[in-house]
Amino acid sequence: MTSLPLSVVIPCYNEEACLEELHARVSRAAQAVSPAGYEIVLVNDGSRDSSWEMMQKLSARDPHVVAINLSRNHGHQLALTAGLDLCSGDRILIIDADLQDPPELLPAMMAEMDRQKADVVYGLRRARAGETAFKRATAKMFYRGLSKLSDIEIPRDVGDFRLMSRRALDALLSLP
Binding stretches for ligand UDP (CB under 6 A)? 11-13, 15, 45, 73, 75-76, 79, 96-98, 100, 159
With CB under 5 to 8 Å by kind, the binding choice for 163 among ligand UDP, Mg ion, none is none
Q: How far is the CB of 82 from ligand UDP (least distance, A)?
A: 9
Distance CA 56, CA 65 (A): 9
Q: How far is the CB of 22 from ligand UDP (least distance, A)?
A: 9
Distance CA 103, CA 8 (A): 10
Answer positive or negative: Cα dihedral of 59, 62, 49, 44: positive
Q: Which of 16, 90, 98, 112 binds Mg ion (CB under 5 A)?
A: 98
Stretch that binds Mg ion, among 85-93, 97-105, 106-114, 116-124 (CB under 5 A): 97-105
Radius of gyration (C-alpha) of the chain in whole angstroms: 16
Choose between 158 and 173: whose C-beta lies nearer to ligand UDP: 158
Q: How far is the CB of 117 from ligand UDP (least distance, A)?
A: 29
| Alpha carbon separation from 15 to 79, 126, 137, 146 (Å, rounded) | 14, 24, 25, 29
CA angle 126, 132, 134 (to 5 degrees): 105
**Cβ 8 vs Cβ 38: under 8 Å:** yes
Choose between 25 and 76: whose C-beta lies nearer to ligand UDP: 76
Stretch that binds Mg ion, among 12-20, 40-48, 88-96, 118-126 (CB under 5 A): 88-96
